A and B are shown apart, each in its own frame.
Chain A
Amino acid sequence: MKTTSRLMTVLAIGVAGTAVLAGCSGGGGASDDEVTLKWWAPNLMPTIAQDEEYYKTLTDKFTEETGIKVETQVNAWADYYNKILGAISSGEGPDVMASGTTWVSTLTPSGGFMQFDDASLEAIGGADQFTQTAWDAAGGQNEGGTSMIPWVAGVTTMFYNTKLFEEAGITEAPTTWTEFLDDAKKLTVDKDGDGTIDQWGFGYPAGFAQEWSHTMFAFGEQNGTAFFDEDGNPTLNGEGMVDAADQFLQLMTTDKVLNPASAELQGMSDVQQQFINGEVAIMFGSGSNTSFDDAGFTDYAAAQIVLNDPLAGEAVTTHIAGVDMGIFAESKHQEQALEFMKFLVREDTQIDMAKNIKGILPVNSAAAADPDVSSDPVFKVNTEILANTAAGFPDNLLTGQAETLIGDALKTLAAQAATQGAVSRADIQAVLDEANSQLEASQ
């Protein structure tokens, strides 16, 4: 009995000890002479597997040139913001991190990313290699230096089905809202005569809060209201925002060119699939042509998103989307990280990326001007959009919150439009007022 009890005691100590040690593990890696950089890369292709395959070609080339190894981790966008948050708050993260352009104004003040001074800018090839809009959007004008370097830029484009346009007798893509409404109505048909509409003029993920925030940014500006006023105070409930929300919700309620069932769509991929299937004729998307090409769908063309007529505010059709890169402040390999960044923004790498990743625009101005790259029609359209009607998300500490709140507000309104068939201006004003007061309360 005594020996059994003693044996049990030893076992118990052993188990307890192992449990504690197991819990305390992590972060004890031995330092090698060989440096391996950790890179959190974005999801730019239709599938993560494709991203991994392509990024490997980039990192292999980099390793060949410099001998520095890179461990890549491709992240889906869904929870990526939270992942970055986790890295910043714990101090444990990669060396080089991708970030969405709309998160820059929220992440920069956290101090989680290394700020670039003249020396480090030189180390990556200088700020002049970038296109001005991309550079500004990444925080190039920040006091104390930017925390992010632009990597790829993107814009939201209007895609339309060329075959369906032909069938409806439409010869040109619409450029104004009036033309767009006209065309969408012509394209909303009951093809098989069973009483239900099976082809809708316009497709939109009305349950996807993030997409709503992008649309409201652009069309709010077109109607004369931005997320914040000049003093940085929230204006989510400004008249221009109400107008913008009204015009889009009417697509579902009065114009009836948008399927009410869209209120349940929570992602772009659903709408892209509808577009490929010929169920919708026009859609707004960023880089959707990659998915179309992937699916072997070719009856599409791209154009700039329409402008309101008359235009009450600014001629903005899209925010400047894209991916920026930052060096994690806690990184122990900042020198090597800078070298990797230099490689990523170099002209030849950017040209290679533009060729392989459809739907994005290079931020390196020389690469953008390269004839080889710019022959793709969608690329041409996007470059023009970026130059003419794209605007960066506001540089305000509350931008991230504004994005969430306006997106959720429109998601709620779209649900109301779908279930009740009508949304009044008063309803819209009420919901936007609430969103705005929540934003004010977060200050």
Chain B
Amino acid sequence: MATLTVQPPLNPLEDPEHFFPKRRKKRNLLPYLLILPAAIAELLIHIIPMALGVYISFVQLNQVSIRNWLAAPFVGFANYVNGLNPAGAIGAEFFETLARTIIYTVLTVGISWSLGTAAAYFLTSRFRGQAVIRMFFLVPYAVPAFVGIIAWAFMFNQQDGLINTVLVDQLHLLQEGPFWLVGPLSFFVLVIVSVWGIWPFAFLLQLAALQTVPHEVHEAASIDGAGRWRTFWGVTLPMIRASNVVLLLLMFLATFNQFNVPFVLFGVSSPKEAQLISPLIYQFSFGTWNFGLGSAVSALLLAFLVIVTAIYVRLVMPKEKSSRA
């Protein structure tokens, strides 16, 4: 016959060992093991090459020393001086390109952000065909970069491209088709194609951010007599500030480092008027095999971006905290 024995309840004072079982001191390794593959990949693909890049900027690495690059002669800051001296040929080009890249980035990010935010704002309200339009807007982001940019290159071709055919032959706006991929207009082509590629990213993020803004806020604003524009600037935008801050930073960094668009549009060497900093570094390193110089300019670029980001974060983030309080 089975008897059911009922244990009396444990008394912490009489029987502490059984009431408080020994906690396992063993650490749970699982979280660390789960990040391990990612950490290794990050180390191998990003951190170590970056560190090596900085090392290379302090040595003279060209075709003579490339075979045994660890033994390349140490030249201290010579590469930096070469790259930064505004009176020198290379330094002058560096500063000019840096200035041009800043202008390009401001233009591209400004236009993309405006387009993305506007599109997201208008697509938050329900209307017929909303899903279809949303899908169309995302197409540039989904198309492989190379394919999209090549299509643009064909369109901007001076002789047979779509743009000139429409402007000259069909709309008769111009007598002669201008050159888009060479000459001064190439800068604007660069901006146009870059905006085309990145504005859906802004659109996506803003769409998500705007969903978090409750409708009641807009109703309250309109009751108070604010027009649509005023509501947008005074109410909606401040509410999505957190997302905006991140979005602008991401777009700035991606655009400043832009390499794909100029490389596919213009080939190995960009026209002077559309020279950006990343293709310039590529040219220093792989066009002329002067890796020390290329690395020095890369390191300077890294420093510049870190400083800008730090300033941006300092300027923007503290206000964020105070608005929450």
Does chain B have a CB within 8 A of A88? yes
Partner-contacting stretch, out of A340-348, A380-388, A434-442:
A434-442
Report which of A82, A91, A440, A442 forms a contact with B286, defined as CB distance below 8 A: A82
Report which of B63, B158, B283 forms a contact with A109, defined as CB distance below 8 A: B63
Which A residues touch B271, using CB under 8 A? Answer: 412, 415
Q: How far is the CA of A91 from the CA of B67 in the complex (A)?
A: 7
Q: Are B66 and A88 interface neighbours, CB within 8 A?
A: yes
Does chain A have a CB within 8 A of B2? no
Q: In the complex, which range does the number of interface residues on chain A fall in?
A: 35 or more
Determine the residue in chain A with the shortest Cβ distance to B182. Answer: A415
Interface residues on chain B, number (Cβ under 8 Å): 44
Mark A108-120 against chain B: 1 for CB-CB distance below 8 A, else 0: 0111100000000
Q: Are A401 and B89 interface neighbours, CB within 8 A?
A: no
Determine the residue in chain B with the shortest Cβ distance to A210. Answer: B268
Which A residues touch B290, using CB under 8 A? Answer: 401, 442
CB distance from A105 to the nearest CB of B (A): 10
Q: How far is the CA of A401 from the CA of B286 in the complex (A)?
A: 10
Q: Which of B82, B181, B288 has the most CB of A within 10 A?
A: B288
Does chain B have a CB within 8 A of A264? yes
Q: How far is the CA of A9 from the CA of B93 in the complex (A)?
A: 54
Which B residues touch A23, using CB under 8 A? Answer: 40, 44
Does chain B have a CB within 8 A of A12? yes
A85-B289 contact given A20-B40, A400-B63, A415-B182, CB 8 Å threshold: yes
Q: How far is the CA of A18 from the CA of B90 in the complex (A)?
A: 46
Q: Are A264 and B269 interface neighbours, CB within 8 A?
A: no
A401-B289 contact given A9-B33, A19-B37, A88-B66, CB 8 Å threshold: yes
Q: Are B63 and A264 interface neighbours, CB within 8 A?
A: no
A19-B41 contact given A110-B67, A415-B179, CB 8 Å threshold: yes
Does chain A have a CB within 8 A of B1? no
Does chain A have a CB within 8 A of B132? no
CB distance from A419 to the nearest CB of B (A): 3
Does chain A have a CB within 8 A of B157? yes
Determine the residue in chain A with the shortest Cβ distance to B269. Answer: A408
Determine the residue in chain A with the shortest Cβ distance to B90. Answer: A441
Q: Are A261 and B63 interface neighbours, CB within 8 A?
A: no
Which A residues touch B179, using CB under 8 A? Answer: 260, 263-264, 415, 418-419
A8-B269 contact given A16-B36, A437-B89, CB 8 Å threshold: no
How many interface contacts (CB-CB < 8 Å) are there between A and B?
114
CB distance from B167 to the nearest CB of A (A): 15
Which A residues touch B183, using CB under 8 A? Answer: 415-416, 418-420
Which B residues touch A89, using CB under 8 A? Answer: 66-67, 69
Q: How far is the CA of A418 from the CA of B157 in the complex (A)?
A: 13
CB distance from B26 to the nearest CB of A (A): 11
Which A residues touch B64, using CB under 8 A? Answer: 109-110, 397
Docked complex: B283-321 residues within 8 A CB-CB of A: 283, 286-290, 293
Does chain A have a CB within 8 A of B147? no
Does chain A have a CB within 8 A of B172? no
CB distance from A39 to the nearest CB of B (A): 21
CB distance from B303 to the nearest CB of A (A): 22
Does chain A have a CB within 8 A of B88? yes
Which A residues touch B68, using CB under 8 A? Answer: 111
CB distance from A12 to the nearest CB of B (A): 4
Does chain B have a CB within 8 A of A73? no
Does chain A have a CB within 8 A of B30? yes
Does chain A have a CB within 8 A of B228? no
Q: How far is the CA of A20 from the CA of B158 in the complex (A)?
A: 50
Determine the residue in chain A with the shortest Cβ distance to B83. Answer: A441
CB distance from A43 to the nearest CB of B (A): 17
Does chain A have a CB within 8 A of B230? no
A106-B63 contact given A85-B289, A209-B269, CB 8 Å threshold: yes
A5-B30 contact given A110-B64, A266-B267, CB 8 Å threshold: yes
With A9-B30, A12-B36, A111-B68 known, 15 other A-B pairs at CB within 8 A are A5-B28, A9-B29, A106-B289, A109-B63, A110-B63, A111-B67, A264-B179, A400-B288, A411-B269, A414-B182, A419-B185, A437-B88, A438-B93, A442-B62, A442-B293
A–B Cβ pairs within 8 angstroms, 14 of them: A12-B30, A13-B33, A85-B289, A89-B67, A91-B67, A107-B63, A109-B64, A110-B63, A261-B159, A404-B287, A408-B287, A415-B183, A418-B182, A434-B89
List the 5 closest pairs (A to B, CB-CB), nearest first.
Answer: A419-B183, A415-B182, A12-B33, A437-B89, A16-B36
